[in-house]
Structure 1
């Protein structure tokens, strides 16, 4: 096995894991702590990608692109919480799924109307378009930056939920909202702020993914499916579990797509191996989820609500 190729694929797995964590951390907090299923979370990722790409192409400033994604996705997230989520908190999950699924379809059509149905591209920001040498292997600076952002967000999210008064109040409101309200906590405001945090993280993930992926309508659905797998495997409501599961699933997918075809060529023709390898790598993710649900349904890490 080529050591340089292995290192590059490991770093690719870390980069994908960082993006998955940025998206999944907000989703697991909303689902695990607020007990609200938000299938429109992938749309917030798409909104962040479109706004970030548009802002960068218009201004040439990557900082402005991130700011546009943060503000835009945050405002949309707050609007969704106020207008859609809040009336549905006390209803069955089926109502939440139907409402947010409809929102997902709405945002896909809205994106097609505004930006068109063709993919929309954004260049890698100036100053981040080069590569650095790591143990004799060149790796893009931009992808390393994504890994660093994911690490910082993981540390920040864990500290916010586990070590701050805001996090304590959020967990108290999730466990017993009436009691927390009687003790003086503004539970409605806390839910809005938590929804805002999840929307911002999804928007940042989309803005960071824009320069390395094609930005297009519907791009939120595939990554939403992966994010749902991540929060189930890691433990719903657990930031640590989400980080562990995001990295594990990203590594399985990345390394499987890179090396399973080579392994299968020992048994099958090259054309068959090239087709079956990536498909098998994708299947392994869902096999992992099935195993976790069967033997550890609470996830790899206990949720923040326990």
Structure 2
């Protein structure tokens, strides 16, 4: 038998080695093109992620409890559906809501009328601005000692608010009902110094507006802002000896700063305060003690 040449064994070994290298190269090629390797995003566009929901905005609003905070709380659910959360901060005075708004601790406030705001800005050097008119609270005169104004005695003690705008408003109301006479030249800025005639010698006492319901036992009559009357469970339509007409120019307003008056959330608040639903709420809840006066 003829022996095989070693040369053929060498050729066979080389062929097997080349075949093995070819197979390995194929696997490497498969891996590079995605085979069993982890997929990559290189050269492809990522799928867009869903748009996030609109972010909620919180507005801090300063207000006196009645009726202002009650009206704000009434509209809060509707505003929440629009992405605006109302945080109603209640105040029992007329100073801090403006101070805190100016200092940016509040986003807006709702408690005052235009003459009061104008006087406050002038006194403090502030620039707070009206955002919307909402309602009128007819100003009333009350007593725990008499049942009719005809019972008021000469020399009686009459309490009025001590801030210029509401004090003037009270004096005008007293004059309209024949208790005193005023210098007409003073206009709405009238003060006790503008009393032209006081023939019955009434004693006019100026006190902090918020305290007036609490001093009814100490005076004969008091001119009280409707919000404080309501808080003291006085019904302006039933308990007042006399009251302003519903067409009073003292419209209660939403107040902001110049820098945020046009913010989208503030504008949503303005719109929510002037809806037919709010008009109905005011009429049904306050029975004439508070009168809608949108944009007045």
Provide the TM-score with structure 2 as the length reference.
Answer: 0.24
Between 1 and 2, higher relative CO (CA 8 Å, sep ≥ 6) is seen in 1
Tell me which protein shows more strand as a share of its residues.
2
Structure 1 or 2, whichever has the larger Rg, is 2
Tell me which protein shows more helix as a share of its residues.
1
Provide the TM-score with structure 1 as the length reference.
Answer: 0.24
